Structure 1
Amino acid sequence: MSENQNPTHSIELTREATNRYVARNAAGVEVTFGRGEDLMSPVELLLAAIAGCSSIDVDTVTSRSSEPTEFRVEASGSKVAEENGGSRLEDLNLSFNLSFPDDDGGRKAAGLVDRLVKLSHDKYCAVSRTVEHGTPVEFDTEVTTGGETTTTDQ
């Protein structure tokens, strides 16, 4: 499925304008996002990452038997305010809507979907598993003003 090795993943984010950013991976692939009518928000990107990770797991296996005639996944979550003034998502949900041809390959692929979704959730999708396990996020900063640099770890 999608995560078979222990590679280090990273992206570089750069600012294009106020509330507009580009994330770029080592291969040079870019995603523009931020806050604005023409942009996907960071929260929407998180939902897309969860849906995409599980979709890859399901699609990789089912498409060996049959090409889907429809492959649509809706990812949703509710943003909640916390007592400390912060916010987070809860009630995360993926809804898979798949269709396959009415032939032997299509029926075989359709018969695999529930098991593959469960395997993705329980074992293979590093994105949803990271969210569910609550992996800590560390921060460090380096800020330069007038040639003087300040570095901190948080």
Structure 2
Amino acid sequence: MADNKLTATVKWLDEMTFVAESGSGHQTVFDGNSPGTAASPMEMILMAAGSCASVDVVSILEKTRQQVVDCRCEVTGERVGETPNVFKKIHLEFVVTGHNVEDKHVDRAVKLSADKYCSVAKMLEASVELSHSYKIIAV
């Protein structure tokens, strides 16, 4: 069984810029200024949700032998107006491009990710209204 413990370290660089390093050794720069020289922590939340869900959707579509050549997840978040300005709504729209990609498979993949597999979305849904949509581009 895989180890369920993940770690990260965040180190201050200068001004409001930090570098985060995952336990597996991958680094990402964050910037608390708006706009800054790197993504903000809240933008990273959106990117994490989109990345996690995209992994699920592509994996499920591959298992159903859909001929996907591209998958993009466009994520939008709406924050509350007062501090701490948490997200109140997040929408993920998947744009799936491929040859003869069937609507029923994309619909199922998006629903499975949202309802069962995406751990980031499952964690966020306790306090954020999450929604999903998709469109298919035939090539």
Shift of 1:59: 0.9
Q: Which runs of 4+ in 1 moved over 2 A?
A: 35-38, 66-70
Corresponding residue for residue 5 of structure 2? 8
How far apart are the structure 2 equivalents of 1:60 and 1:7? 21
1:61 Cα deviation (Å)? 2.2
| 3-state SS of paired residue (1:69) | strand
Q: Which residue of 2 aligns with 1:60?
A: 59
2:86 corresponds to: 88
Could you list the per-position Cα deviations for residues 39-66 of structure 1 after superposition, in whole angstroms to 9, with x for gaps in the alignment?
A: 1111110000001110001111213424
Cα RMSD (Å): 2.1
Where does residue 74 of structure 1 map in the other structure?
74
Q: CA deviation at 1:28?
A: 0.7
AA paired with 2:61? T
CA distance in 1, matches of 2:97, 2:90: 23
Q: Which residue of 1 aligns with 2:136?
A: none
Instruction: Tell me what 1:115 maps to.
Output: 108
Once the two structures are superposed, the pairs formed by residues 94-105 of structure 1 within 5 Å of their partners are 94-102=92-100
The residue type paired with residue 57 of structure 1 is D
CA change 1:62–1:24 in 2 (3 A) is same
- Structure 1 residue identity aligned to 2:59: T
Shift of residue 86, structure 1, vs aligned partner: 2.7
The one-letter code of the counterpart of 2:113 is S
Q: Which runs of 5+ in 1 are unaligned?
A: 135-154
Total equivalences in the alignment = 124
1:10-39 deviation digits (Å, cap 9, x = unpaired): 211111111111111111111111134431
- The residue aligned with 2:124 is 131
* Structure of greater Rg: 1
Instruction: Find the aligned partners of 1:69 and 1:75 in 2 and give their Cα distance.
Output: 20
Taking structure 1 as the reference length, the TM-score comes to 0.71
For 2:93 and 2:3, the matched residues in 1 are separated by 28
